[in-house]
Chain A
Amino acid sequence: MKRRDPQERSRRELDEALTRYGSERDREAARGPEPWPGDLFVLAETAEFPVEWLLVERGRQGRCLIVAADANPILGCADVAVPPEASGGPLSVRCDVGLQIGIESLRRGERTGSLAANDLDRVRRLRAEVAAGGVPDPKLGAGGEPDPSYEDWLAEIVLPARAALLPVAKEEPGLAFRRARKGIAAAAGLVLFLAVCGVSILAWRFHQGERQARQEVSRLLEESRRREAAYRRELESERQRLEAAYQKELAARRIPTPGSEAGRPLANLVYASFYPGASRGTVRELAAPPGTTYLFLLFYVGHRPLSVEYRVDVEKGAGGAIWSLGGLHLLPSQEVSVALPRAQVPDGAYRMRLYGVSGKERQDLGQFEVRIVSQLSHLPDR
């Protein structure tokens, strides 16, 4: 069986490689010139070395971390091999041979390709591993073995290439200078713009229109900010009003503190006891003679499971609870007690609900219908 002529085979492979190269170039061109992590560059400063530079990280203020990469397949234990079929491959990325450089240096260079995200990740991971001491000696060959050929490649090509780039990295202008330079550039741009306006009335009109548009945008923004501030103030005022109303309501429902009466015995109480089930479905009438100061009410709990504390809600009509008396404790007679000021419990129908409260759990222990009526005279009828 006759195999294809080696020259013919090589020509065909070259044609395929050229097609691939053309596609990659088109992709690169369509992406725009700005350097981004994963991009490969050749730089004039290191043109004499067969080395490219991989942009690994792009930091603030235009500082970029780059590492050396080359097409020699020899590998060390701190290198990442990008296979031939991968974007940018074949390439050996020398992860430990890196330096910080300004973005301008990369913009001046030639972008020659880019690595896939997963290959860039491999480089970053290995760099992190080297930084963490996971690679004892990055100058060793693959498998951690001493390899003179690898040492030679580093010493003759890769490290001198980095050394050639170091002065560029050091001469990168400082931040203040960069800012000043930006300011100068901006000023120069403004002067140029004004000069153009002076020469061309059309451009001036365009400029005027643009300025008016910008002013209008600024005015609208300012108005929007003003409206938002007013709205916020209105909301705050409403919130304060509602808060005050709530506090007032709360105070109205609170059991009046004994005050000056605390030191005095209470007299003229109307007493009533409520038992579960006894008054259910019926309305109990409670007559209050003139001069009654308090309605003293006892609610029998009995032998039902004990709760930590108890609560009595007093409702009038369908308006919900007008009193909510919590924090009640059981008396030795298995009852809880409340005393309602007669002055605040006018005649009428009331519903009283008794609850047992344990933490967040609330148990309904009974409800009682009561009608309070004023007794015209405490004297017995004749």
Chain B
Amino acid sequence: MSNLKQFIGAEQPRGPRGEWTGEEAVFTRFLQGLDSGGPGEREGFEAVWLALRRVLVGELKRRSLWTLSPAYVGIYGSASWADEEAVEELVADGFAFIFVERLRSLKAHLRLKPNVEGLIVRSARNFLQEAQKRHDPVGFRVFTVLRGAVRSAVAAGALHVVEGSSAVRRDTVLAFHAGAAARPGELAAEARSWNVDLLPDLITARGWEVRPLMARVEKLLLRLPAQGFPVFRFQDLVDPLRLDVRMRWRALWTSAQGEELPQPGEDDRLVMARIAVPARSLEERESFRSLLNCLEEGIENLAQRAQSKEYLRRLQMFLRCYAADAMPAPAGEELPSRRRLADLLGIPRDRLPDLFTTLQKLAEVCRQGAGKALP
């Protein structure tokens, strides 16, 4: 099996930073060679695999996901991307998303285009975006809210793009005065302090609640010049903020241990912790991911009041974060107390037992493979 060095090797075309350039049209030639009903072995499969791997790894790095747990994009059971199997699993997932599920669409465009390399790269980005949105809801939410607030400030003329994409990407440099020099300051400490004001709304706001939340973020943004940050790079703001949110959640779990022992009747939290921790065996990884997906779908299909479903969504999101961040710790011992969980998720404490029970039942149904036939 190829390792990391092989796929970044010199035998494949690459740009100055090792990114995929598409010069040899590997993807296009591969697709052109595919015939329905043809032999299973196809020319260029290996080359496509390596090229796709390079695209995905490049994109992980661009999104600052490379140093985080693979669970943030749905690859469970590996602590880091140094685990070769995790990368291979990601490529397999990406291959399914791009070539297997969207084969008809790719072939359609190939009828009018000589080259679909750009389309494949864009599809790989869509794949990772979707995976992160689903498996790292906290990080994705922070990024989305912050980006929305920054774009709103730019549209209002309060902020100016001095470098990079005007659509505000990670490497966009922004300034409060159009002529400011592009020397971004170090604002991690300031960004982290925002969470005192923004949590838990930053994570739990939905629908119409999001715009007021963005307005609050925008107010915090406008205080930056007075605090000595007239210029900043977007990723320097979003990364510490996102990291801090994750750390706060993680701190809650670890500090909860021994702080408040489970009370009689609270054992269901321990059961949920067991649900949320994926097993390490290869087969169980797959079924764990299916379980999370089934839980998500099951909540949407439940015949419950909208508010209850919203609480269940938050709990489900919490479990995903727990699964991603608390992987190495023993199962069932790190969940925060109900009081802290209720504060964290903005859920009335007395509702938690019923919600846990519902989730537990859903998990049982999902494990029996009947996720779509939920009550």
Contacts and interface: CB of A to CB of B under 8 A. Distances in A.
Interface stretch (B143-151, B222-230, B251-259): B143-151
A88 interface: yes
Nearest to A70: B105
A112 B108 contact: yes
A161 to B, nearest CB: 12
Given A71-B123, A144-B207, A145-B207, A110 B103 contact: no
B129 to A, nearest CB: 7
Interface stretch (A14-22, A176-184, A211-219, A325-333): A14-22
B37 A44 contact: no
A21 B107 contact: yes
Contacts of B206: 143, 145
A21 B109 contact: no
Of the candidates B36, B99, B122, B282, the one having the most CB atoms from chain A within 10 angstroms of its own CB is B36
A221 B113 CA distance: 54
Contact of B37 (A10, A22, A24, A113): A22
Contacts of A247: none
Contacts of A7: 45, 49, 88, 92
A225 interface: no
A52 B37 CA distance: 25
Contacts of A16: 100
B261 interface: no
A149 to B, nearest CB: 7
Interface in B86-104: 88-89, 91-92, 95-96, 99-104
Interface of B: 34-38, 40, 42, 45, 49, 88-89, 91-92, 95-96, 99-105, 107-109, 111-113, 119, 122-123, 126, 129-130, 144, 147-148, 151, 167-168, 206-208, 210-211, 214, 281-283, 285-286
Of the candidates A9, A147, A149, A156, the one having the most CB atoms from chain B within 10 angstroms of its own CB is A149
B37 A3 contact: no
What are the 3 tightest A-B residue pairs by CB atom distance, in nearest-first order? A22-B36, A112-B108, A3-B282
Contacts of B168: 148
A74 interface: yes
Contacts of A152: 167
Given A72-B126, A148-B144, A148-B168, 4 more contacts: A23-B36, A73-B126, A90-B101, A91-B105
Of the candidates B100, B107, B210, the one having the most CB atoms from chain A within 10 angstroms of its own CB is B100
Of the candidates A22, A74, A145, the one having the most CB atoms from chain B within 10 angstroms of its own CB is A145
A110 B207 contact: no
A84 interface: yes
B301 to A, nearest CB: 14
The secondary-structure label for the interface of chain B is helix
Contact of A11 (B45, B101, B107, B108): B45
B92 A73 contact: no
Given A6-B89, A47-B113, A18 B101 contact: no
Contacts of A52: 105, 108
A62 interface: no
A15 B45 CA distance: 12
Contact of B108 (A44, A74, A113): A113
6 contacts: A14-B42, A42-B112, A43-B112, A113-B104, A144-B208, A149-B129
Given A7-B92, A47-B112, A18 B103 contact: yes
Contact of B40 (A11, A24, A112): A11
B100 A148 contact: no
A112 B112 CA distance: 11
Contact of A147 (B34, B49, B144, B285): B144
A2 B85 CA distance: 12
B36 A42 contact: no
Contacts of A43: 112
A129 B125 CA distance: 31
Contacts of B210: 145-146
B282 A2 contact: yes
B102 A1 contact: no
Given A3-B282, A3-B286, A143-B207, A42 B100 contact: no
B283 A1 contact: yes
Interface string A74-91: 100000000010001011
